[in-house]
Amino acid sequence: MSRPIQVMKFGGTSVGDAARIRSAATIALEAAKQRSVVVVVSAMSGVTNTLIAAAGKASAGDESVAEGLARALHTKHRETIEALISDVEQRRDLLAEIDVLIDRAANYCRGCALLGELSPRALDVIAGTGERLTARITAAVLREMGCQGVAFDATELIVTDEVHGGARPLAGPTRAKTQAALTPLLETGGIPVVTGYIAATVKGIPTTLGRGGSDFSATILGAALDAHEVIIWTDVNGVQTADPRMVPDAVTLDEVSYIEAGELAFFGAKVLHPMTLRPVIESGIPVWIRNSFQPQQTGTKITHSVRPTPQGVKAVTATRDVAMISVAGPGIIGVPDIAARIFGATASVRASIVMISQSSSQDSICFVVQAADATRTEKALRDALYKEVHQHDLEHIKVNRNVAIVAAVGENMCGTPGIAGRVFSTLGKEGINMIAIAQGSSEYNISFLVESGAMEKAVQALHKTFSLSRQTEGAEVASKTA
C-alpha cells in the first residue's frame, strides 16, 4: 500500500541562505523516513521583490537594470550553491542551470526596457524566476544528502485560469498532471521539490498565484495528491493571536479552524495567503503552520474543528494594504441600479473587495479594495458613472489610501454577546475613530476601518481587551472543563 503523503512548504526565510536550505532539506529527509514527502519552496527571501522591482524599473526605460539584476541573482545563488554542493559535477550542472534561468529573466527585463512596457503576463514570467532557482538548489541538496531529490516547475503541474498576478487553479487538470508527474517518483521513495507561487494556463503560459502564493501552491498540490497533511514551514511558531511584529506578547494558537484562519488571512495576516485553505477544506486535509527555525515546536493545526475559547475573539489582524473608495451624492438615493453599476465596474477590473458599507443617509456607498486594485477600480468607476458625475448627480468618487482595516476574528464570536460593544468601547477609550464598520452575517469577524496611523494602537488595544495573550491558557481550561 502506498504511504501517506505530506506536502511541506518552506517560505522565503526558511530557504533564505545556505544554512536555511540545508535545514529545510534535513526536515524533509527526516519526515520522509515515515511517509512520502513533497517539498514546495518559495524564492530565497527578497528575491521576488528584487525581480518585480527590476521589471518595473526596466519598463520605465532603465536599461541598466537587467545587468544589475543578473549580477545580484548570480552572486546570491552561486554563493549558496558553493556552500551547499560539494560534488563537482552536480555543482557544475546546477550552476549552468541557474545561469540560464537568471539570464532569461535579465533578457525579459531588457525586452521590457526596449518596449517601455510590462504586461501582467511578462511580469509573471519574470517574478517566478526565484522559485525555479530554489527548487533546483534544494533538490540538489537532497541528492547530496543521499536522497532522490528532483526539481519540478509547477508550470508543469498546476493548471490555472488566465488571470496573471492572481491566477486560480483548475482542480481537474491540476490533479491529473500532478499525479502523473509526481506519483512515480514518490513510489520509489524520491522527494519532488516543486516551485511555489508559479503555475501555467491550459495553454502552458506561465502565471503566478499572487504574492505569498507558495502557501496556496502547497495546498493545491496537497489536494491534488490526496495528501495526509500539509505543513507550512515559516519563521513564526504558528498562527498567533496577532502579528508578533505589532504585538510582542502575541501567543501561538494550538489550533484554529479553516474558517478562522481564512478570515485572518483575508484581513491581512501575512502568515497565510488568503486562498490557502480553499483547496483543502472540502477534503478536510489538516494544514499545520510550523517554525522551520524551531522544528521542535508543534505549531498550529488548522482543521474543521475548534475548541471553544472563552473570549469569543481568538485573534486580531490588520493591514494597510487597502484603500477606501467612496461614491457619494444625491444621485445615489433612489437610483435602483447604482449599486449594481458600481459593483459591475469593480468586477470588470477584478478588484478584490475587502469590505462594503453604506452610510445611514444612504447617499454614499463606500467600500474597501486591496491597495493594488485601487487605481484601476477608480478608473473603471469614473468610466461607468461618467454621466452621473457630469450631471452632478454624483458629487464625488474618492480614493483614500491612508486607511487600514482591522479585524477581530473567532468562530465562537457568534455565540458570545457583547463583543461588538467591547470592540467599540475599547476604540473609544483609545480615541480611535472608526471610519467604517462591517460585520458579516456569519459573525466570524468584526472588521472596521481606521486611519492607517491608528492601526497598531487599535490592534494592541483589542489584543489587551480580549486578554489574547492568555488565550492558550484559557483554551486549555475551557477544553478540560468541557
At closest approach, how far in Å is the CB of 127 from ligand ASP? 8
98 or 406: CB nearest ligand ASP:
98
Does 465 engage in binding with ligand ASP (CB under 6 A)?
no
Q: What residues from 130 to 189 belong to the interface with ligand ASP (CB under 6 A)?
A: 130
Instruction: Answer positive or negative: Cα dihedral of 401, 428, 415, 417.
Output: negative
Instruction: Answer positive or negative: Cα dihedral of 83, 16, 53, 193.
Output: positive
At closest approach, how far in Å is the CB of 45 from Mg ion? 10
Region label for 189, one of left (φ > 0), alpha (ψ between -120 and 50) or beta (otherwise): left
* Neighbouring C-alpha atoms within 13 Å toward the C-beta of 321: 14
Does 42 engage in binding with ligand ASP (CB under 6 A)?
yes
5 to 34: interface string for Mg ion, x by CB under 5 A:
------x-----------------------
297 to 316: interface string for ligand ADP, x by CB under 6 A:
------------------x-
273 or 463: CB nearest ligand ASP:
273
At closest approach, how far in Å is the CB of 336 from ligand ADP? 41
Those residues whose C-beta lies under 8 Å from the C-beta of residue 19, and which sit 6 or more positions away, are: none
157 or 324: CB nearest ligand ASP:
157
Task: Report what 197 binds from ligand ADP, ligand ASP, Mg ion, none; CB cut-off 5-8 Å by kind.
Answer: ligand ASP
**Phi first, then psi: what are they for 337, rounded to 5°?**
-100, 10
Does 357 engage in binding with ligand ASP (CB under 6 A)?
no
User: What is the DSSP track for 264-320?
Assistant: HHHTT-TTS-TTTTHHHHTTT--EEEEETT-TTS--EEEES-----TTS--EEEEES
Q: Which grid coordinates belong to 148?
A: 532522490
* Neighbouring C-alpha atoms within 13 Å toward the C-beta of 118: 22
Return the SS3 of 403.
strand
Choose the stretch contacting ligand ASP; rule: CB under 6 A; options: 80-88, 96-104, 207-215, 311-319.
207-215
260 to 299: interface string for ligand ADP, x by CB under 6 A:
----x----xxx----------------------------
* 206 sits in which H/E element: strand 206-208
Q: Which grid coordinates belong to 224?
A: 491534488
214 or 311: CB nearest ligand ASP:
214
- Burial, 390: exposed, middle or buried (Cβ in 10 Å; 0-12, 13-18, 19+)? exposed
Question: How far is the C-alpha of 419 from the C-alpha of 83, rounded, in Å?
Answer: 53
Q: Which of 192, 196, 212, 279 binds Mg ion (CB under 5 A)?
A: 212
Number of residues that bind ligand ADP (CB under 6 A): 21
Task: Report what 14 binds from ligand ASP, Mg ion, ligand ADP, none; CB cut-off 5-8 Å by kind.
Answer: ligand ADP
**Which residues contribute to the site for ligand ASP (CB under 6 A)?**
11-12, 42-43, 48, 130, 196-197, 211-214
**Which residues contribute to the site for Mg ion (CB under 5 A)?**
11, 212
